[in-house]
Copies of this chain bind each other. A is one copy, B any other.
Amino acid sequence: MYFTVLNSLVSAGLCTKLATIPPHFVSELPYIYVITPTYARSVQKAELTRIANTFSHIKNLHWIVVEDSDERTNLTTHFLFHCGINYTHLHIRSIEHKRRGVEQRNIGLAWLRHNREPNVSRGVVYFADDDNTYSIEIFEEMRYTKKVSIWPVGLTFEARYETPIIGPDNKVKSWHAWHSTERKFATDMAGFAINLNLLLNNPHVWFDNTTRDGFLESSLLSQLVELNDLEPKADNCTKVLVWHTKTITPVFSEDKTWNLEI
C-alpha cells in the first residue's frame, strides 16, 4: 500500500519536477542520479551550496533533491533554479520525524521508475545526504557500476572510517564496520552506488522504514545482490573518497534584532 502510494504520488504529478540541461552533458556517458534528502534548518543553504559546488564538477549528473516537507520550500526552489545542475525537485513529509530520509529516498526511486525506461536508460543511482563530503573522484569510480559498487566511508560512527574487507580474489569478504557481523552489507548510505537498471528491473525494492536503525542500507542491498556481486572501488577499498561529516547546528541569540530575511 505504502509503495503504491509513493508511485501514485509521482504519477499524479503531486511531486513536480523542474529540469535544465547544464553544460556538463556528454551523450555517450551514463548518468549519475544523485538522490539527496534535505530538510529546513539554519545550515541548509550552506550545506546545499557546498555540495552543489562539488556536484557541478560532474558530467551528466542529475540531482534528485527531495525535501522533507508538505510542499516545495522557497529556499530550495530558488537555490536549485540557480545552481547550474540538472535537477528534479520533489518533496514528501517523513512519516516519522526521527527517521529522516527514508520516504525521501523512496520517492526518488519512484520518480526514476516513472521517468526512466528499463534496459534503455543508462546510469547509476547514489544516495548522497546534504551534509556529507564527496571527492570528485568518487563519481567517476561509480559511473560504470554493473550491479552495486562499494567503497570506504570516512568519519563514520565512532570510527575514522568503515570499509569492506577485500579478499585475494578482489571480492568483498567482510567488513570493518559497526555491527559488521549482523549486517550482511555493513555499509554507510554514502558507501555504495546501484546500477539504474537493477533498480528499474526490480520495482518491488524500496528502503524499508520498519528496519532497525542502521540496517537500512543492508536491507536494501540484500534485496538486490549477493556479497559476491559487489564491485570494490577506490583502489580496491584502500582510499577514503567520501566522508560522513556533520555540521554543528548554531544556537542563535534571541536578542539579535537584525535577523531579517536577506
Contact between chains at B53 and A155 (CB < 8 Å): no
- Chain A residues in contact with chain B, CB under 8 A? 42-43, 45-47, 49-50, 53-54, 56-57, 133-136, 152, 154-155, 158-163, 176, 237-240, 243, 245-248, 250-253, 256, 258-259, 262
Q: What is the bound-complex CA distance between A54 and B55, given in angstroms?
A: 10
Nearest 5 pairs of A and B residues by beta carbon: A176-B258, A46-B243, A158-B253, A46-B133, A53-B54
Name 20 A/B residue pairs within 8 A (Cβ), A-sorted: A43-B243, A45-B154, A46-B243, A47-B133, A50-B50, A50-B133, A53-B134, A53-B135, A152-B262, A155-B250, A158-B250, A158-B252, A159-B252, A159-B253, A159-B256, A159-B258, A160-B256, A163-B262, A176-B258, A246-B247
**Given A159-B252, A240-B262, 9 more pairs with CB closer than 8 A:** A46-B133, A47-B133, A47-B245, A49-B133, A57-B57, A152-B262, A158-B256, A163-B262, A245-B247
Count of identical protomers in the assembly: 2
Contacts of A54 in B (CB 8 A): 50, 53
Question: Which chain B residues border A50 with CB–CB below 8 Å?
Answer: 50, 53-54, 133-134, 245
Q: Which residues does chain B contribute within 8 Å of A45, judged by CB atoms?
A: 154, 240, 243
Q: With the chains together, A75 CA to B259 CA distance in Å?
A: 40
**With a CB–CB cut-off of 8 A, which chain B residues contact A134?**
49-50, 53
Question: Across the interface, which residues of B come within 8 angstroms of A53, CB to CB?
Answer: 50, 53-54, 57, 134-136
B247 touches A248 (CB 8 A): yes
* Measured CA separation A53–B241 after assembly (Å): 13
